[in-house]
Structure 1
Amino acid sequence: MCNELYGDRPLAQVFRDIAASGYEAVELAPYTLGKPVTEVSTSERERIRMLADDAGIGFTGLHWLLAKTDGLHVAAAEPAVRRRTLDHLIALSRLCADLGGSVLVFGSPGQRSTPPGMSRAEAAERALSLFREWAPHAEADGTIICLESLPAAETDYLNTIGEVIDLVEAIDSPAVQLVFDVKSASAEPTPVPELIRLAAPHLAYVQANDANRGGPGFGDTDFVPVFAALAEVGYDGYVSVEAFEAPTGIDDVAERSIEYLRRSSAAAAAL
């Protein structure tokens, strides 16, 4: 379960609430720590990990990696901005490892879209170069960069699973794979199960949400075919709930989402 849905609740309470709803692990948005990653001390990292341990949950990893940062961009033309962005991402790899996680979900639409005055081709080449530099640091930390496709309404870069696959294969590093986000995949004309089969060779993580940006089960997205396809390709990793809206309350969304996923998984297994 992603933690940012819980707003300003203290982390200890968030971890307890996530565990109480039946989840095994948390996917952490770094900005919710309230300070730059480089200012999160070793003792604070140990404390955060202990809070999760006390609640009985682990960490899948991090997402919203560049959210609420100032002046960072993966396609920046300015060398100083590029260096700060890369340093920030490298520091997140270390934070992820220190917390016991392994996944770094790269979405961050605002910090990957083509900058004004730059061609899309140039921006894509600059982003590719930065990801290539980040990859060996992530691999050394035992973490995996999971590139995320996002709809054209959110960004003009990496809009489809196919485009993400092309980038992953161009980088050619075991530390760079892809995340399958059901909401984003639902924006493509290709059926979601077919996209899962396409993504399978590079699939390292799954985020579960409805096409309407709600939790799974809070819209029309059918997760039975999703689980059937995941089983077909042999995926055995985490499925992380990422809900952007909680119209019925945070805890209700958390509980009903996991209940719906369990029912869908069981129904897929019975097919």
Structure 2
Amino acid sequence: MRLANWLRALVALTAIVAPGRAEAQGVRLRYGVASFGEVEPLRDAATIAACGYDYIEPGLAKTLALPDPDRQEQLRRLSATGLRVETMNWFLPGADIKLTGPTADQARVNDFLERSLALAEQLGVKVIVFGSPGARSFPEGFPRERAWDQLKAFLRTAGDIIEARRYGMVIGIEPLRKPESNIVNTVAEAARLAREVNHPKVRIIVDFYHLTFENEDPDAILDAKDLIVHLQIAEPSARGFPRQEAGEARYRRFFDNLLKIGYQGRLSIEANSSDVAGDCGPALKFLKEMAAAAR
């Protein structure tokens, strides 16, 4: 009896001194910087590494378009930093390739998929972000339902190529705000599209900036938890590197919901900056503090 009482007291003391594991650790994330505006992670890799990030997220279409000597030189400099390309955004060049509407060219799309996915595999990419607003937005007067079906066909084709070639990445559908795209604007819509595609290589990402712009409830994360493979973030008002909560309550709910769903993946800053060296350190500190405080 005395031993049992002693064990109960020890358990109670442990609960006081060391709270639950999830509460103590917060959200465990890997942090990266994505291509956006003036920010080019391949070019800025040394600066990003010096700030303490885990990986970079360059644009896939941009990287593919580089002359091979230039691309190899950038990759050589990247290798010296110790960072890796774990994710890529800017999947398709919207000015050259259309996925929806009457001018969609399946042969051209398939050719681009073969070349771009092969490059992504060569780089060791794990998630390709499918934002590509210019490629996926449909022209005025074109039936939305047909555009939706065209996107499903594209995503199934991409998924099939990944499976057939035994590549190691998945496609993450990104909800985009309405000023950028007229289709798939919320986490709920991205989740619906992924479920209709029903392919193991097609999932979704959540971008905090787009979510807040569209006034979507951060609880959408809870409903889509089985599909989320990646996250992006930017400060909501100016789309800059996030540095402080500054009255934005959705930061807190965003990170709390990540803890609730057990998310332990990557979070990329996809934001404007004219001073990456000055912005990336404070942003990383802020994000780690938010993640650690998640409850």
The alignment covers a number of residue pairs equal to 258
**Secondary structure of the residue that 1:150 maps to in structure 2?**
coil
Residue 227 of structure 1 is aligned with which of 242, 255, 271? 255
Q: Would you say 1:246 and 2:270 are equivalent positions?
A: no
Residue equivalent to 1:72? 97
Instruction: Judge which range, 107-116 or 14-23, deviates more.
Output: 107-116
In the alignment, the residues of structure 2 paired with residue 82 and residue 129 of structure 1 have an alpha-carbon distance, to the nearest angstrom, of: 10
Q: Would you say 1:112 and 2:136 are equivalent positions?
A: yes
Please give the residue correspondences for 1:170-249 in structure 2 after superposition, counting only pairs within 5 Å.
Answer: 170-192=196-218, 194-212=219-237, 213-217=239-243, 220-222=247-249, 223-243=251-271, 245-246=272-273, 249=275
Instruction: Judge which range, 210-219 or 167-176, deviates more.
Output: 210-219
Alpha-carbon distance, 1:44 to partner? 5.2
Q: Would you say 1:91 and 2:115 are equivalent positions?
A: yes
Alpha-carbon distance, 1:32 to partner? 4.1
CA change 1:188–1:6 in 2 (3 A) is closer
Equivalent position amino acid for 1:207 in 2 = Q
Alpha-carbon distance, 1:164 to partner? 0.9
CA change 1:251–1:242 in 2 (3 A) is same
In the alignment, the residues of structure 2 paired with residue 113 and residue 3 of structure 1 have an alpha-carbon distance, to the nearest angstrom, of: 21
**Secondary structure of the residue that 1:66 maps to in structure 2?**
coil
Q: Is the 8 A contact 1:149 1:159 kept in 2?
A: yes
Alpha-carbon distance, 1:204 to partner? 0.3
| 1:163-217 Cα shifts (integer Å, max 9, x gaps) | 111110111111000011000111334421x011122110000112122211222
Q: Cα RMSD (Å) of the superposition? A: 2.5
Q: Would you say 1:36 and 2:65 are equivalent positions?
A: yes
Alpha-carbon distance, 1:242 to partner? 0.8
Higher relative contact order, structure no. (Cα contacts within 8 Å, ≥ 6 residues apart): 2
Q: Is the 8 A contact 1:90 1:138 kept in 2?
A: no
CA change 1:82–1:177 in 2 (3 A) is same
Residue 60 of structure 1 is aligned with which of 78, 83, 86? 86
Q: Which runs of 5+ in 1 are unaligned?
A: none
Equivalent position amino acid for 1:74 in 2 = L
Equivalent position amino acid for 1:143 in 2 = M
In the alignment, the residues of structure 2 paired with residue 122 and residue 263 of structure 1 have an alpha-carbon distance, to the nearest angstrom, of: 44
Q: Which runs of 5+ in 2 are unaligned?
A: 1-32
**Secondary structure of the residue that 1:207 maps to in structure 2?**
strand
TM-score (norm 2): 0.79
TM-score (norm 1): 0.85
In the alignment, the residues of structure 1 paired with residue 248 and residue 118 of structure 2 have an alpha-carbon distance, to the nearest angstrom, of: 35
| 1:99-143 Cα shifts (integer Å, max 9, x gaps) | 111111011112111124421111111221121111111233121
Q: Would you say 1:2 and 2:34 are equivalent positions?
A: yes
